[in-house]
Each structure stands twice: as structure tokens, then as C-alpha cells.
Amino acid sequence: MATAIGPSVPAQGPVERSTLDRMLPYGLVAPAVFVAFAIAVVPMGYVLWLSLQDWYLLRRPAPVWGGLINYNQLFHDASLWAAFGRTWIWTIGTVFVELFLGVPIALLFNRESSVSRTASALILLPWVTPFVVLGFGWRFLLDGDVGPIQGILRMLGISGTGSVLNDPVRALIAIIIISGWKGMPFMVIAVLAALKSIPKDIYEAAEVDGAGALRRFYHVTLPAIWNTLLTVGIVLGILAFYSFDLPWIMTRGGPQTATTIVGITIYKAVFQELRPAYAAAISVVMLVLLFVASILALRLRRKD
């Protein structure tokens, strides 16, 4: 993140700096840098190397150089590309739900009242509750026999007698909505922070000019929060793109392959098909696609 590099003036004391003083900063950052290397930088390099190996655990106990063999297979793997297609639907759907719920809620909560202050704190509960709990929780809520929300869906005619999770199309839609519900609070607090920074007199001026609520939103509010929406949308989109927990816990990627997104494909490639090198190649492709998509999305930023 570019914002990480903040300006901060070095403290130059009157004292001469000794060698020990000059080495001190490196000593202080070394442990954190070591962790970052061991957990992010080294694995990223390793995954690239691994993706060029021929390593299928049932056939070979140790990796052998395979060149582009995995990428070649990956290119012809129709079920993988179907999973990639599903992952885009999942990602865009999740971010859409987050915007669709989050922006109106933030507008509603942007008031000076004790109720809205309390609400802005409690709204974060879906975000802070671990995925694993919500995954099992929603399995209960949508259970075909006892699930209370399943009961409501049945009353509304959205679902038949069985759980919505048993129907391929409805299962994907349901888990996308749940995924959006879980991420929405983050959108709310980010948009709230952006809304609070809009000067009040701009609204007054717009109101004097006779602009209605909708026009004020479109011409004053939206431009002011646009970059926040975009940045938060990208952050939440990246998280959604790499989802695993919810669809794995709720449906194991099923029914059939209806909720198999790439995160699940990677997991299965390692632990069920025992092809770690192939999984590594998928990881690399995923990273490249996400990088390109993020760069394209960032071009929508407004420059002031």
C-alpha cells in the first residue's frame, strides 16, 4: 500500500551518531521483517518455483523439474476455468451486496445520536465473528428441517421444502449474500468515516440551490466518497476472491460444483488430488489475474 510510506521527519539530535546508533533501526525492524519474509516473500518465490515442478504425490514422492507442464494442463482444465468464472461472479456479487447494504446503512447511521453511535459499533458483529462460526451458524439457519431462515424463505416461496443450499443456483446466490453480509460492516465504517469528513456547508449550499436529496447524493456525497468506495471495494474484492471458509464449511463446494470457487479448487488439488505443484500453478495464475484486475479497478479513481 502506497499510503504506508508516511512522511515523518527524522529526529537529528545534537549528539554524534555512532555505528551502534546507525545499526539500531535495522535491529529494531529485523524481527518483523524476518516474519514478513518467512511468511509472505519466501512463499511467493517458492510458489513460483513449485509451479514449474512435476509433482504428483501418487506418482512421484519428490518434485522433478517439469517446466510449463502444470500451466499446460491448467490451460486445458475446463473445470478450473469454470471455477475461475464462478470466482468472478462470487467476487463481484459479494462486493455488490456489500455496497448495496453498506452505503445506505452508512447514510442512515451518519447522524449525531446515541442510537446511531451504538448501532455503528454493534453493526460490526458480523465482521468480527469468525468465518467458521458463521459458516456453521448459517448451515443451521438454512437447514431444511429446523432452520429458521429457511422457514422464512419457504414462507416467501423462495425455497422449496429442502434447504436452499441443496439447489445449485440458489446455494451460490445464498452464500454470496451471506459473504456480502459478513463483509458489509467494514464498508459501513469506512463510508461513515468518509461521510463525516464532508463539510456540512456544501450540503447547505446545495440545498439553497434547490437540489433535492437524490441530486445532493449524486453531486455532493457520491464524488466525496467515491475513492473510499473504490479502495474498500478492492480490499473486500481481494478478500472475496480468495474466499474458502464459507463455501467450504457450508457446502464443500457443492451441490455438484455449484459453489466451487478457486480457493476450494486449490485446497482440493493439494489435499484430495495430491498435486501440490498444480495447486501452486493455480495460485500463480490467481495472483496474476487479481493483480491485473486491481490495477484496472484503480484506474477508476478520481483525481483531485
Partner 1 sequence: MKRLPFPRDVGLDLLTLGILFIILLPILWVFLASVRPDSDIASGGWIPQRFTIRHYQEIIAFPGFLVALKNSLIVGVTVAVITTTMAVPAAYALSRLSFRGRNLVALIILGTQMLPSVAVLVPLVVIVRQIGLSNTLVALIFTHLSLGMPIAVWMLRGYIERVPRELEEAALIDGCSRIGAMVRVVLPLIRPAIVAVGTFAFVLSWGEFILALALISKADTKTLPLVLQGLFDPYSFSWGRVMAGGTTIALPTILLFLVFRKQLVGGLLAGGVKG
Segment 223-252, which members bind partner 1 (CB under 8 A)?
Answer: 235, 238-239, 241-245, 248-249
Please answer whether residues 195 and 106 qualify as being in contact, where contact means their C-beta atoms are separated by less than 8 angstroms. Answer: yes
Q: Which is nearer to partner 1, 25 or 223 (CB)?
A: 25
Contact set for partner 1, span 93-152 (CB under 8 A):
105, 108-109, 111, 113, 115-116, 119, 121-134, 136-138, 140-141, 143, 145-146, 148-149
Task: Measure the CA–CA gap between 276 and 273, rounded to whole angstroms.
Answer: 9
Q: How many CB atoms lie within 10 A of CB 126?
A: 15
Q: Using an 8 Å Cβ cutoff, are 141 and 147 in contact?
A: yes
Instruction: Tell me if 79 sits within 8 A of 257, measured CB to CB.
Output: yes
Binding residue (CB under 8 A) for partner 1 from 16, 19, 32, 78: 32
Among the listed residues 88, 181, 217, 226, the single contact to partner 1 using CB under 8 A: 181
Query: Which among 77-85, 157-165, 180-188, 212-220 is the span making contact with partner 1, rule CB under 8 A?
Result: 180-188
205 binds partner 1 (CB under 8 A): no
Q: Which of 40/222 has CB closer to partner 1?
A: 40
The CA distance from 248 to 162, in Å, is 20
Instruction: Indicate the residue among 145 and 304 with the shorter CB distance to partner 1.
Output: 145
Residue 110 beta carbon to partner 1: minimum distance, rounded to whole angstroms: 10
The only residue of 66, 183, 237, 253 in contact with partner 1, by rule CB under 8 A: 183
Binding mask 51-90 for partner 1 (x = CB under 8 A): ----------------------------------------
Question: Least CB distance from residue 213 to partner 1, whole Å?
Answer: 12
> According to CB under 8 A, which residues from 151 to 170 bind partner 1?
none
Report the alpha-carbon distance of residue 170 to residue 26 in Å, rounded: 54
Cβ closer to partner 1: 76 or 113? 113
Q: Which is nearer to partner 1, 78 or 128 (CB)?
A: 128
Q: Which amino acid is at 261?
A: I
> Which residues in 258-297 contact partner 1 (CB under 8 A)?
263, 266-267, 270-271, 276, 279-280, 283, 286-287
Give the residue with the Cβ less far from partner 1, 191 or 258.
191
